[in-house]
């Protein structure tokens, strides 16, 4: 999926970006409210990680702006402010989760997974699709009872498809979530990952709908 | 009597004023009655004497006439002259030999003064005041007597008449003083209630606009003090909040970067070294966090202005802690309809709960189950599995920098912070080991607002 990180601290921002990218998602990293606003206007992000104290404004103002504009993009607030009042303000402004710094990157991954699952309409981290048993939180999958190892990018593609099981996901949507701003997209990248996934999970695990996209399940 | 002892007898200024002023008024009144009785006694004496003198002068010619007209100088009584007119007045008419020729009915048959011939003019004999006059032509002498009882009764009557109002005066006086003092004390009471409502949570400026001149310096001094205190507390809280922000961000950066390094490093030795850095960073982070909490706690952040519902905060903090732990490790049990409210600052309460859970995580059995329970009686329990803590160690755990025998790297501040906040807000934190209903483990039990706080 495609993630926007808004964080003005160089070290933390870079580490978060690298971590999210290493999980196989496409990441853009913005350090200012203004730049983030422009990016949000042009790219359909799947998730926003938002710091609250930014050099040119308050993260919460940007969040309220997004929500009043009708945006439903999941937002996780990353902040050094741990006061209950600011936490409540954050959640009331439309944040989906609130993570106080400092945090473990593994915890960030778990929160991201939980929020994304909630948006997919399936808050249960254990999924069963066909003969696949998937634990999204622990990133553990078995195909017909046999454990399977997936790379970060393969997981990213599968997760994207699993967010709406039984629905057709456009190829472009999967592409978008794989790459960050400016990265070169190879034209057959999605086909490559889908064919690798089929090899590991079974031929019928992912169905191709010609000219439209892919789907898992019925 | 020292001032302190006087205040011990009469703790209220109003009572002291009422008693003191009433006593003084009564004493002054009694003095005035005594003095005026003394003066009126002398004046009455003179007036009575004048009356006696006049009676004698009027009676003498009549009595002489009556005796001479009778032609017999024999003793007999006449009544009608003075009968019914004055019970205190009587007279005797005597000849030059001292024989009583005539007397009023009340008068004795023998002369008033047996021992001596009454001297002309005023004299006193026993209970009588006498006036004696002699008719030069007949040589007859009249002595008019008046008992002194009448005079005494008049003086006592006058004094009594002046003392009676005192009975009404004392309560009236007390009432008047009470009303006056109450009116005058209003600004003092307002000031004292104004000052007494000021605390760590209410440092609003004092209203000194309509204080009387006498109280103005006190009110102004207290207002200045409150203002300075407020500025100092604000600065302290802002410092704690800002330093929290300024410290957490770089620590978060260093921790995240280190965790990325661990993920990317291939050499096991390098990975181990990076893990050491990660562990140290987490300890540093934990210690910085606890020290910041301690500085906030010492600025008395615990008490809230009014009672607040703490249940949503408990849910939030427990949920937060559960997400940071292994799935299924933290069990949260709430009795249906359980309520949790107290005059407690939300962040302070969150700090208490977080510290109790952290304590259970850090010092309980590794990976062991942790229970957060809120039964119907509104005591919050945090229970962890683990070995029994010896009683002598248990007693010291709430002191700063004291840790149990533990493999963990806790700061030894968590329970001390929780204890300080809880006691600031009138609650009670009790520690048990083994935990209730178990053979082992540790339980921290929190009771909010044990004693009602003002």
* Interface contact A12-B249, CB threshold 8 A: yes
Q: Does A83 touch chain B (CB under 8 A)?
A: yes
Cβ A47 vs Cβ A112: under 8 Å: yes
Class at the top of the CATH hierarchy for domain B302-454: alpha beta
Residue % of chain B over a pLDDT of 70: 88
Q: Does A111 touch chain B (CB under 8 A)?
A: yes
CA–CA gap between residue B65 and residue B69 (Å, rounded): 6
The pLDDT, as a whole number, for residue B85 is: 52
| pLDDT per residue as tens digits for the range A40-56 | 999 889 999 999 989 99
Radius of gyration, alpha carbons of chain A? 18
The pLDDT, as a whole number, for residue B81 is: 44
* Interface contact B256-A107, CB threshold 8 A: no
The pLDDT, as a whole number, for residue B147 is: 84
Whether the model pTM is above 0.80: no
3-state helix, strand and coil shares in percent for chain A, rounded to the nearest 5? 40, 25, 35
**Residue in A11, A104, A106 closest to B257 by CB:** A11
Query: What is the pLDDT averaged over residues B119-145?
Result: 84
Sequence ranges of the domains in chain A: 2-119, 126-216
Helix H or strand E encompassing B237: helix B216-264
| Tokens standing for residue A49 | 């990680």
The runs of H, that is alpha helices, within B90-212 are: 148-196
| Residue B382 in this model has a pLDDT that exceeds 70 | yes
DSSP for B45-80, written as a single string: HHHHHHHHHHHHHHHHHHHHHHHHHH-----EE--T
| Residue A14 in this model has a pLDDT that exceeds 90 | yes
The pLDDT, as a whole number, for residue B443 is: 92
Cβ B313 vs Cβ A84: under 8 Å: yes
The pLDDT, as a whole number, for residue B406 is: 55
The pLDDT, as a whole number, for residue B324 is: 84
Tell me which of A17, A84, A105 to substitute to probe the interface with B (most B C-beta atoms closer than 10 Å). Answer: A84
**Residue in A53, A80, A84 closest to B347 by CB:** A84
CA–CA gap between residue B125 and residue B214 (Å, rounded): 66
* Interface contact A83-B324, CB threshold 8 A: no
Mean pLDDT, all residues of chain B:
82
Helix H or strand E encompassing B290: helix B268-298
**Contacts (Cβ under 8 Å, ≥6 apart) of B134:** B120, B140, B141, B142
Q: Beta-carbon neighbour count of residue B88 at 10 Å?
A: 17
CATH of domain B13-153: 3.30.450
What's the burial of B396, exposed, middle or buried (CB within 10 Å: 0-12/13-18/19+)?
A: exposed
CA–CA gap between residue B424 and residue B358 (Å, rounded): 21
Q: Beta-carbon neighbour count of residue A97 at 10 Å?
A: 20
The runs of H, that is alpha helices, within chain A are: 10-22, 33-42, 59-68, 84-92, 105-119, 152-163, 171-178, 189-201
CA–CA gap between residue B80 and residue A138 (Å, rounded): 137
Cβ A178 vs Cβ A153: under 8 Å: yes
**Alpha-carbon distance B386 to nearest alpha carbon in chain A (angstroms):** 26
Q: Does B255 touch chain A (CB under 8 A)?
A: yes
CB pairs under 8 A between A and B: 80
CA–CA gap between residue B169 and residue B147 (Å, rounded): 35
Q: Beta-carbon neighbour count of residue B138 at 10 Å?
A: 18
**DSSP category for residue B7:** H
Most confident listed range (A14-18, A144-148, B72-76):
A14-18
At the second CATH level, the architecture of A126-216 is: Orthogonal Bundle (1.10)
**Contacts (Cβ under 8 Å, ≥6 apart) of B444:** B356, B359, B360, B381, B382, B383, B415, B418, B429, B430, B431, B432
Helix H or strand E encompassing B354: helix B346-363
Query: What is the pLDDT averaged over residues A201-209?
Result: 87
The pLDDT, as a whole number, for residue B410 is: 66
Tell me which of A82, A89, A113 to substitute to probe the interface with B (most B C-beta atoms closer than 10 Å). Answer: A82
Most confident listed range (B51-65, B249-263, B318-332, B431-445):
B249-263
**DSSP category for residue B127:** T
| Residue whose tokens read 């001479």 | B68
| pLDDT per residue as tens digits for the range B168-186 | 888 888 888 889 888 888 8
* Interface contact B313-A111, CB threshold 8 A: no
The pLDDT, as a whole number, for residue A35 is: 94
**DSSP category for residue A185:** P
CA–CA gap between residue B152 and residue B317 (Å, rounded): 93
| pLDDT per residue as tens digits for the range A104-128 | 998 899 888 888 878 776 666 677 8
Class at the top of the CATH hierarchy for domain A2-119: alpha beta
- Fold of the domain built from segment(s) B197-300: Helix Hairpins (1.10.287)
CA–CA gap between residue B443 and residue B454 (Å, rounded): 29
Confidence grade of residue A25 (pLDDT, cut at 50, 70, 90): confident
The pLDDT, as a whole number, for residue B8 is: 63
For B419-446, letters b (16+ CB in 10 Å) and e give bbbbebbbbebebbbbbeeeeebbbbbb
Q: Which of B285, B309, B303 is nearest to B233 (CA)?
A: B303
For residue B310, how many C-alpha atoms fall within 13 Å in the half-sphere facing its CB? Answer: 28
| Residue A15 in this model has a pLDDT that exceeds 90 | yes
A81 to chain B: nearest residue by CA?
B245
Sequence ranges of the domains in chain B: 13-153, 197-300, 302-454
The pLDDT, as a whole number, for residue B408 is: 57
Tell me which of B245, B249, B304, B320 to substitute to probe the interface with A (most A C-beta atoms closer than 10 Å). Answer: B249
Confidence grade of residue B72 (pLDDT, cut at 50, 70, 90): low
Cβ B286 vs Cβ B355: under 8 Å: no
| pLDDT per residue as tens digits for the range B413-451 | 888 889 988 888 888 898 888 888 888 889 999 988 754
**DSSP category for residue B330:** E
The residues that bridge with B442 in the sheet, in sequence order, are B384
Contact residues on chain A for B253, CB-CB shorter than 8 A? 9-12, 15
HEC readout, A105-117 = HHHHHHHHHHHHH
Contact residues on chain B for A15, CB-CB shorter than 8 A? 253, 256-257, 259-260
| Residue whose tokens read 């999941």 | A74
């Amino acid at each position: 999926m495609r993630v926007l990180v808004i964080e003005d601290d160089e070290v933390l921002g870079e580490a978060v970006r690298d971590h999210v990218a290493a999980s196989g998602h496409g990441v853009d990293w913005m350090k200012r409210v203004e730049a983030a606003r422009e990016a949000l206007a042009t790219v359909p992000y799947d998730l926003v990680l938002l710091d609250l104290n930014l050099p040119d404004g308050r993260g919460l103002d940007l969040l309220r702006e997004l929500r009043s504009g009708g945006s439903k993009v999941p937002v996780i607030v990353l902040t050094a402010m741990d006061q209950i009042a600011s936490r409540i303000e954050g959640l009331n402004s439309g944040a989906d989760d609130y993570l106080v710094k400092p945090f473990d990157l593994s915890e960030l991954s778990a929160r991201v997974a939980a929020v994304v699952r909630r948006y997919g309409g399936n808050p249960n981290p254990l999924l069963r699709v066909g003969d696949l048993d998937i634990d999204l939180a622990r990133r553990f999958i078995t195909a017909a009872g046999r454990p399977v190892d997936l790379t970060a990018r393969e997981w990213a593609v599968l997760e994207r498809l699993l967010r709406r099981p039984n629905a057709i996901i456009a190829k472009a949507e999967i592409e978008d979530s794989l790459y960050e701003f400016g990265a070169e997209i190879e034209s057959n990248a999605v086909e490559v990952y889908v064919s690798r996934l089929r090899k590991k999970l079974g031929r019928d695990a992912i169905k191709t709908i010609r000219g439209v996209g892919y789907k898992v399940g019925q | 009597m020292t001032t302190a002892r006087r205040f011990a007898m009469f703790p209220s200024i109003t009572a002291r004023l009422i008693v003191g002023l009433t006593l003084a008024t009564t004493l002054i009144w009694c003095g005035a009655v005594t003095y005026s009785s003394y003066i009126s006694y002398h004046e009455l004496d003179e007036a009575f004497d004048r009356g006696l003198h006049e009676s004698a002068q009027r009676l003498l010619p009549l009595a002489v006439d009556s005796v001479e007209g009778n032609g017999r100088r024999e003793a007999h009584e006449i009544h009608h002259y003075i009968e019914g007119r004055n019970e205190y007045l009587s007279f005797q008419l005597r000849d030059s030999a001292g024989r009583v020729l005539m007397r009023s009915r009340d008068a004795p048959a023998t002369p008033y003064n047996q021992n001596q011939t009454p001297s002309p003019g005023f004299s006193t004999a026993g209970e009588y005041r006498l006036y004696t006059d002699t008719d030069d032509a007949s040589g007859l002498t009249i002595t008019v007597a008046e008992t002194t009882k009448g005079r005494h009764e008049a003086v006592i009557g006058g004094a009594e008449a002046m003392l009676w109002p005192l009975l009404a005066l004392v309560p009236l006086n007390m009432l008047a003083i009470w009303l006056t003092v109450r009116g005058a004390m209003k600004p003092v009471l307002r000031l004292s209630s104004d000052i007494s409502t000021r605390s760590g949570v209410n440092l609003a400026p004092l209203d000194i606009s309509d204080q009387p001149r006498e109280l103005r310096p006190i009110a102004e001094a207290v207002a200045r003090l409150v203002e300075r205190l407020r500025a100092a507390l604000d600065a302290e809280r802002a410092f704690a909040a800002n330093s929290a922000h300024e410290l957490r961000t770089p620590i978060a950066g260093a921790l995240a970067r280190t965790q990325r390094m661990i993920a990317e490093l291939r050499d096991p030795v390098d990975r181990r070294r990076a893990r050491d850095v990660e562990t140290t960073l987490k300890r540093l982070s934990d210690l910085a966090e606890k020290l910041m909490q301690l500085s906030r706690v010492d600025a008395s952040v615990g008490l809230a202005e009014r009672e607040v519902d703490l249940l949503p905060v408990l849910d939030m903090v427990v949920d937060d802690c559960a997400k940071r732990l292994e799935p299924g490790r933290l069990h949260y049990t709430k009795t249906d309809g359980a309520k949790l409210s107290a005059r407690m600052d939300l962040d302070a309460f969150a700090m208490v709960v977080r510290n109790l859970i952290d304590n259970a995580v850090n010092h309980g059995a590794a990976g062991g189950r942790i229970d957060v329970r809120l039964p119907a009686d509104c005591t919050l329990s945090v229970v962890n599995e683990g070995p029994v803590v010896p009683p002598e160690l248990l007693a010291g755990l709430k002191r700063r920098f004291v840790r149990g025998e533990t493999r963990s790297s806790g700061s030894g501040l968590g329970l001390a912070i929780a204890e300080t906040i809880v006691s600031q807000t009138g609650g009670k934190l009790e520690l048990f080991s083994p935990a209730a209903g178990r053979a082992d483990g540790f339980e921290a039990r929190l009771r909010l607002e044990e004693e009602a706080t003002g």
